[in-house]
Amino acid sequence: MSRLIIISNRVSAPKDSHAGAQGGLAVALQAAIREFGGIWFGWSGETVEEFTGQINFQRAQGVTTATVDLEEQDIEEYYNGYANRTLWPLFHYRIDLAEYERGFAGGYQRVNERFADTLRPLVESEDILWVQDYHMFPLGQCLRDRGVKNRIGFFLHIPWPPRRLLATMPEAQELVRTMFAYDLVGFHTQEWLDSFRDYATYELGATVEGDTLVLGERRLRAIVAPIGIDCKEFVAGASTAAAKLAYRRMRDSAVGRDMIVGVDRLDYSKGLEERFAGYERFLAEHPEERKEVFLLQIAPPSRGAVESYKKIRTALEGLSGRINGAYADTDWVPIRYVNQGYPRDVLAGIYRAARIGLVTPLRDGMNLVAKEYVAAQDPEDPGVLILSRFAGAAAQLKDAVLVNPYSADEVSDAIMQALRMSREERKARWRSMMDNVEAEDVVWWRTLFTDALMGKDTPAPIPAHNDVAAA
């Protein structure tokens, strides 16, 4: 049987700590490696003075991980640079923040070559390879250049930008061309897939044959595979002692008020400034509701080495301080803004205590918080999910209250609608969303992708969305 080699920027070894300490994605990928045998390969997160390619193998709970250290300059150019200052903003439609520097592009290519050099000797002829995310677009091509003939798949966890935005990046054509080294590419939504196909056909002259794109000798199959959460684990996590304690604490501290919760990495793509503005609009327009609600925003900092992340942090501190200054009273604060991370079962308890889950990214590949919020609810008295129509999750969670996150008015109206919603309607909307979260969970996602990579299934062809296919 084929082994599975998973390659991603960071690697998660299984942990012995209590259930739920790791994210669903890590658990699902570990489970895949356990099932097929194989290795999870990537950067250790550590720096080394000079790159040696020395691999640190570890084996825990049936999963082998293989990690390498990178040089300071690699991290600066590949990770902080090209991945986080070029690709991340561009792929989230923020060309105003995207930095196009040859040094970053060169470092990114160099690190991918280094990964390929290091990984190459580990690959056996029957292995299948699965590359994760935007840190590694060129890795497939780097491996092909080193003689790897195996089946290689690539999954993109973030959106794919529209063609005209992608065209602003100097290396765009080359980057997309190298993706034809893969046999299979997966996206969370049809929209991201359409944008990819649009670029490949218009800019590179690829042709479409069913669900496959053809460029010269290479055939690349493109599928939609929306990621899910580990729903069973999350539901179980919601009834642990830690979850119940977190729930009770939140309920007690709410003193009868309705809690609105937001949980996001501190990232400009998550729309936190706009969310605060929408909530402020709600407070301004509904003075009678002011002391009836509060917003708990949990936002652990990320990518602190990047300037735009420092800026958003400062901006949010200012904004939450200003709104609290304007509206707070001796017995009520409208926004509780915290920058900590919490164990997953504690998060589940917090979600369950919230009458509204406010998930309003400006652009998001999927957004797992939306699904976690749904999974954590009490079926007899569920809260309401307010969800950005620009999150990939909106394609599945159609019974959320969908909003345009840029519109403070829409966010304000949605909060009012959610607060007034009858229990009957809340239950009906929740049931329909939960059906999806349960059915299309992370194991479903992983199996969909690995089956396609092994050629086991026949998903429907990509529906034609415009005249590109015919061109």
Hey, which residues are catalytic here? 157, 364
How far, rounded to the nearest angstrom, does the alpha carbon of residue 158 sit from its chain's CA centroid? Answer: 6
- Check residue 66 and report its DSSP letter: E
β-pair type (128-132, 151-155): parallel
Q: Which of 4, 27, 136, 366 contacts ligand ADQ by CB under 6 A? A: 366
Asked whether position 367 contacts ligand ADQ by CB under 6 A, the answer is yes
Query: Could you say which residues in the range 401-420 bind ligand ADQ, by CB under 6 A?
Result: none
Per DSSP, helices labelled H in 37-101 are 72-74, 88-91
Cα separations in angstroms, 201 against 196, 197, 206, 244, 316: 9, 6, 4, 52, 41
- Position 336 contacts ligand ADQ (CB under 6 A): no
Asked whether position 300 contacts ligand ADQ by CB under 6 A, the answer is yes
C-alpha 215: how far from chain center: 29
Which residue among 37, 106, 162, 341 contacts ligand ADQ (CB under 6 A)?
341
Q: Does 369 bind ligand ADQ (CB under 6 A)?
A: yes
**By the rule CB under 6 A, 231 interacts with ligand ADQ:** no
- By beta-carbon proximity to ligand ADQ, the closer residue of 33 and 158 is 158
DSSP annotation of 3: -
The whole-angstrom separation of Cα 119 and Cα 377 is: 43
**Are 223 and 211 a contacting pair, CB within 8 Å?**
yes
Q: How far apart are CA 170 and CA 419, in angstroms?
A: 48
Nearest to 338 by CA among 373, 308, 294: 294
Find the binding residues for ligand ADQ in span 256-295 (CB under 6 A): 263, 265
Q: Is 27 in the site for ligand ADQ (CB under 6 A)?
A: no
As measured in angstroms, the least distance from the Cβ of 400 to ligand ADQ is 14
> Toward ligand ADQ, which CB reaches closer, 64 or 388?
388
Of 228, 25, 367, the C-alpha closest to 386 is 367
Find out whether 66 and 41 touch, Cβ atoms under 8 Å. Answer: yes
Which neighbouring-strand residues pair with 260?
A: 295, 356
If one asks whether residue 364 binds ligand ADQ (CB under 6 A), the answer comes out as yes
Candidates 342, 443, 444, 447; binder of ligand ADQ (CB under 6 A) is 342
Residue 112, amino acid = N
Which is closer to ligand ADQ, CB of 300 or CB of 304? 300
* Backbone phi, psi, residue 273, to 5°: -65, -45
- Cα–Cα distance measured from residue 337 to residue 319, given in angstroms and rounded to the nearest whole number: 10
Choose the binding region for ligand ADQ from 314-322, 364-372, 396-404, 430-438 (rule: CB under 6 A).
Answer: 364-372
Residue 321: how many other CB atoms lie within 10 Å = 12
| Cβ-based nearer residue to ligand ADQ, 120 or 265 | 265
**Does the footprint of ligand ADQ cover residue 298 (CB under 6 A)?**
yes
Stretch that binds ligand ADQ, among 39-47, 276-284, 360-368, 459-467 (CB under 6 A): 360-368
Smallest distance from ligand ADQ to CB 226, Å: 9
Query: Which tokens hold the place of 383?
Result: 């809260």
Number of residues interacting with ligand ADQ: please give it, by CB under 6 A: 19
- Is residue 446 at the binding interface for ligand ADQ, with CB under 6 A as the rule? no
Min dist CB 298 to ligand ADQ, Å, is 4
Q: Which is nearer to ligand ADQ, 416 or 439 (CB)?
A: 439
CB-nearer residue toward ligand ADQ: 162 or 341: 341
23 lies in the site for ligand ADQ, by CB under 6 A: yes
Stretch that binds ligand ADQ, among 37-45, 170-178, 277-285, 341-349 (CB under 6 A): 341-349
Stretch that binds ligand ADQ, among 119-127, 317-325, 365-373, 397-405 (CB under 6 A): 365-373
Biggest distance spanned by C-alpha atoms of the chain: 70
Give the separation between CA 140 and CA 27, rounded to whole angstroms: 24
Separation of alpha carbons 22 and 343, rounded Å? 8
Indicate whether 165 belongs to the interface with ligand ADQ (CB under 6 A). Answer: no
- Binding status of residue 131 toward ligand ADQ by CB under 6 A: no
For residues 334 and 323, the answer to whether their CB atoms sit within 8 Å is yes
Distance in Å, CB of 79 to ligand ADQ, minimum: 15
Residue 274, amino acid: E
Q: Does 8 bind ligand ADQ (CB under 6 A)?
A: no
Residue 385 as a binder of ligand ADQ (CB under 6 A): the answer is: no
Q: Residue 230: count other Cβ atoms within 10 Å of its Cβ.
A: 26
349 binds ligand ADQ (CB under 6 A): no
Nearest residue (CB) to ligand ADQ, 22 versus 173: 22
Q: Distance between CA 136 and CA 320 in Å, rounded?
A: 36
Query: Looking at 216-224, 246-254, 304-312, 361-369, which segment touches ligand ADQ (CB under 6 A)?
Result: 361-369
Provide the pairing of β-strand 207-209 with 356-359.
Answer: unpaired
Which residues lie near ligand ADQ (CB under 6 A)? Answer: 23, 25, 157-158, 227, 263, 265, 298, 300, 341-342, 347, 364-369, 372
